[in-house]
Chain A
Amino acid sequence: MTVAPQDFRSNVPGLTWPALPDLVGAGALALQYQLRESEQAPPAQIRGRQFRQIAALLDHSFARIPFYRARLERAGYAPGMSVDEAFWRRLPILTRQEVQDAGAALRAREMPGWHGEQYAFSSGGSTGRPVNGVQTELHRLYFDAVTLRNHLWHRRDLTARLAVIRFGGEVALANGRASAPGWNRPAASAFRNGPSELCDVHRPIAEQLAWLAEYGADYLLTYPSLLRELVLEAARRGVSLPRLRGVVTFGEVLDAATRALVRERWGLAIGDTYSATETGYLALQCPGFERYHVQAETCLVEILDDAGAPCAPGETGRVVATPLHNFAMPLLRYDVGDYAEAGGACPCGRTLPVLNRILGRARNTFRRRDGSRFWPAGISLSEDPVRQFQIVETAPWQAEARLVTTRPLAAAERAKAAAEIAGALLGEYAVRIVEVAAIARSPSGKYEDFVALPPSPAGAR
């Protein structure tokens, strides 16, 4: 899906090419220039520059955040020292619980210079207590740069219309909508950029679909679970979206079944992204392959095994992230709570580290009888009348499949669904089908397909 070369936005009369954008646009392109170079740089150089940036973050954390000063001292840190792998590995992992308990103690008392305004964030907390904190305008500037990089990687036509279905927050109007003249600030400042519209994720699916068709979206950005619902709703209602050229997903684990469904029904490939509220982008899908490139320029991402050692390609481990530019509330080696499979070098030529798969959170893992864990996947349930599903572990090796249906299931349909789900659970679980009226999304609009029991204190399930 290639398009003509992008057209840049000029802020100077009489000047069409090459464009001289306004300062925001020039700043945006200055960052993209660097990103385009760094994504091809030797991995050791990328690592070296990450550590250089982290050294600045550590100096700041040491000087201005007592919580980190103590941690850093214990790890043998002295201000001004250069950071290397050995030192970095000595720094303890920061858990979600620690961030929640520390609260404002993680915030810097002052900033080293301009980092812009500070914004409060609250990570969704699909289940349980959210993580609260602050981020800076500078952090957002890098976040926006990666958003733009994603569009440029996938050669999306920036002059086209973008439809977004997500949590509307404070931007959405009473009808759940919002519109903007561009896709985001850097895209609109640096490029000739089409409009975007938002529809709140909590609006009814039928309304979202009707809006999408009426808006004439060229691209759609939404959660994988909602995308799945939209595809099925469109099939049910016979709605086609002829202008739609591409789909971007975020916020939840995208599994192969949803990819296949969208490819089969809409003829479109999905460009997935991996981000977390607390950290910003962790990885973007490679434009050439269904795998992910770590956004090493904004976040140092480690995939660690149970012993805390880096995973080799093909191994799965927990995701530990260090956002490089949030000086208001640094998160040093923060355990995001997700699991991912490390990858080897990508044939696309980009040297950014690779994640083969994002598997989701620990609470999305189910257990085999031998105690090993797995992430269930591959449930499509794409036949009428199942609209939504959620598989919940209710007791060891017992699962409840909650289905939202458009009409009561026939006995054969129930049996077929149960068999499909039991297969996805590797035959380890007894599956009970329960038809429910709705599956609630979290306040941020996400929901999880698979919810497991929390581990018991003894480690048994």
Chain B
Amino acid sequence: MSGLPPLRSGLPGVAWPALPNVVAARMLALNYQFQESERMPPAEIRRRQFRQLAALADHCHRAAPRQAERLAAAGHRPGAPLDAATWRRIAPLTRRDIQTLGAALHAASAPAEHGAAGPFATSGSTGAPVAGVQTELCLLYFEALSLRDHLWHRRDFRGTMAAIRHIKKSGAAGDSVVIPSWNLSAGAVFGTGACHMFDVFRPVAEQAEWLLRLDPDYLLTYPTMLREQVQETVRRGARPRRLKGVSTFGEQIGDGLRDLVRSAWGVEVCDLYSATEVGYMALQCPERPHYHVQAESCFVEILDEEGRDCGPGETGRVVVTPLHNFAMPLLRYDIGDFATVGDPCPCGRSLPVLTRIVGRVSQTLRRPDGAIVMPGFQDVFLKPGSPVRQFQAVETAPQRIELRLVPARALAAAEEADIVRRTGEAFGPDYRVEIRYVEQIPRSAGGKHEDFITMVPR
């Protein structure tokens, strides 16, 4: 163990121990608690989760009528203790519910100390987009867990981070962006190297070229893209030399990916399980390639078809309750993923274990020029009040895209034309897009929805 790297100190003359600034102090205060809680007996973790859930339930009774109705239907009354039996009677909330109910799920108010509520919208990688609001407090916890991930994996904060991901195109940012630190928390506490971001919608060849040129210490990207990047660098007979580790997020980590990255690049892959609407659900154990549920931030249940808790080795639906979003409480939210429960981890951390997150599959498109990309067309449907409830693009034949839509209402011809035009632009000039209305979009074998699937064999 090499010890904690030097912290950034907020005061002249004080090098060690550091007196961090306000943001950093909060991050460390939370991580101090995480160090305690990750080794608490599971029953104690659960007791504290239920104490926080009870506070959330009380808030729902006061300020979130839809959730209050669900609690009442489960037999919970304001101020009453909240136990596991009552909790289980709350019927899970589906993505569809969130889409249908929309702003009706927002709380009338949240404590001012939780900070402003800001909008979020999922990228729709696991089905139709889900939009809502979350408080600054949620972001604070998110940042604290990002820091925990770095600390667990003992990353060298002095290093450069490369992120190949969706870059929100606000302004003329172009295909690559540089920000001064990896993220808010690590930057505030330790100071970090820069984070260079590259647009995931660029062809893989460009991504690989950029990566090799940058030669970062760490890389963050989607598993499917990582696979393509590795293969591309192998084709070029090159590898990012300085790379110390890769983090993946946003999709299921496919079989063999860890081995591929280890053999081609000589580094380990560390996966994250998170979703925009709930934050981090699980982080990879620093010692084993499985996941620890982030029990301090959300209550995660893995349920079988009868709604019972799955035991070790069993796979079930992921039902998650973020503990701290008082602006839009989501009690027992069925996020649409499946996961496999694991045995307690020998690493000593008592946080629940998931051995596998299933249901997230690759969504890549091979363009006529051979470039492999993640088709980024979801923005077309992500604006508030979109007349489309669910969508899926299916490549039925080379360069033919069938856009399956579940409409919320009948679309005007002009709206249809607009959707076809914008989707076509996203795929590229060689693609022909046709709309097909459907009543529902069936789930994949793994139980997941995919924004994009291809039927064209490779």
Contacts and interface: CB of A to CB of B under 8 A. Distances in A.
Interface residues of B, number: 51
Interface string B17-57: 11110101110111111111100100010001101100110
A260 interface: no
Nearest to A113: B12
Contacts of A17: 37, 48-49, 51-52, 296, 323
A52 interface: yes
Contact of A14 (B22, B26, B114): B114
B368 interface: no
A40 interface: yes
Contacts of B81: none
A52 B323 CA distance: 41
A361 interface: no
B111 interface: yes
B113 A34 contact: no
A20 B138 CA distance: 12
Contacts of B85: none
Interface in B153-201: none
Interface in A7-63: 8, 11-21, 23, 25-38, 40-42, 45, 49-50, 52-53, 55-57, 60
B6 A49 contact: yes
A114 B10 CA distance: 10
A16 B52 contact: yes
A459 interface: no
A218 B34 CA distance: 28
Nearest to A20: B26
A16 B51 contact: yes
B1 A49 contact: no
A12 B136 CA distance: 12
A446 interface: no
A21 B51 CA distance: 17
A25 B29 contact: yes
B140 interface: yes
Given A12-B137, A14-B59, A56 B31 contact: no
Nearest to B39: A5
Interface in A107-141: 112-115, 138, 141
Contact of A35 (B17, B22, B31, B55): B17
A4 interface: yes
Contacts of A49: 6, 15-16
Interface residues of A, number: 55
A6 B33 CA distance: 9
A61 to B, nearest CB: 11
A297 interface: yes
A112 B12 contact: yes
B351 to A, nearest CB: 13
B104 interface: no
B13 A45 contact: no
A34 B28 contact: yes
A218 B70 CA distance: 45
Nearest to A35: B17
Nearest to A351: B3
Contact of B16 (A14, A42, A52, A60): A52
Contact of B28 (A29, A50, A297): A29
B29 A114 contact: no
Highest count of chain A CB atoms <10 Å: which of B18, B26, B49: B26
Given A17-B49, A112-B12, A38 B29 contact: no
Interface string B266-307: 000000000000000000000000000000100000000000
Contacts of B22: 23, 26
A190 interface: yes
A26 B26 contact: yes
Given A12-B114, A35-B17, A30 B28 contact: yes
B17 A115 contact: no
Nearest to B3: A41
A231 B140 CA distance: 50
B30 A20 contact: yes
Nearest to B63: A14
A20 B31 contact: no
Contacts of B18: 30, 34
B4 A60 contact: no
Contacts of A29: 25, 28-29, 32-33
Interface in A57-116: 57, 60, 112-115
B25 A27 contact: yes
A325 interface: yes
B324 A15 contact: yes
Given A23-B22, A27-B25, A53-B16, A113 B30 contact: no
Contacts of B59: 14
Given A16-B48, A17-B48, A41-B3, A6 B36 contact: yes
A115 B12 CA distance: 9
Contact of B11 (A6, A114, A145): A114
B377 interface: no
B181 to A, nearest CB: 18
B14 interface: yes
Contact of A12 (B6, B24, B44, B111): B111
Contact of A112 (B1, B13, B110): B13
B393 to A, nearest CB: 41
B91 to A, nearest CB: 24
Contact of A297 (B16, B55, B296): B16
Contact of B13 (A15, A113, A145): A113
B14 A325 contact: yes
Given A42-B2, A49-B6, A8 B13 contact: no
A35 B7 CA distance: 12
A19 to B, nearest CB: 7
Nearest to A54: B15
A33 B52 contact: no
B338 interface: no
A129 B458 CA distance: 90
Contact of B55 (A15, A41, A55): A15
Contacts of B140: 20
A327 interface: yes
Interface string B124-156: 000000000000010011000000000000000
Contacts of B452: none
Contacts of B37: 5, 17-18
A229 B2 CA distance: 47
Highest count of chain A CB atoms <10 Å: which of B3, B12, B18: B3
Nearest to A52: B15
A29 B18 CA distance: 12
Given A5-B40, A20-B140, A29-B28, A53 B15 contact: yes
A14 B35 contact: no
A30 B4 CA distance: 13
B45 to A, nearest CB: 9
A57 B324 CA distance: 43
Given A17-B49, A17-B296, A42-B2, A297 B30 contact: no
10 contacts: A4-B44, A8-B33, A16-B48, A17-B52, A21-B29, A28-B29, A29-B32, A33-B31, A297-B17, A324-B16
Given A4-B44, A20-B26, A21-B29, 4 more contacts: A14-B326, A32-B32, A33-B28, A34-B18
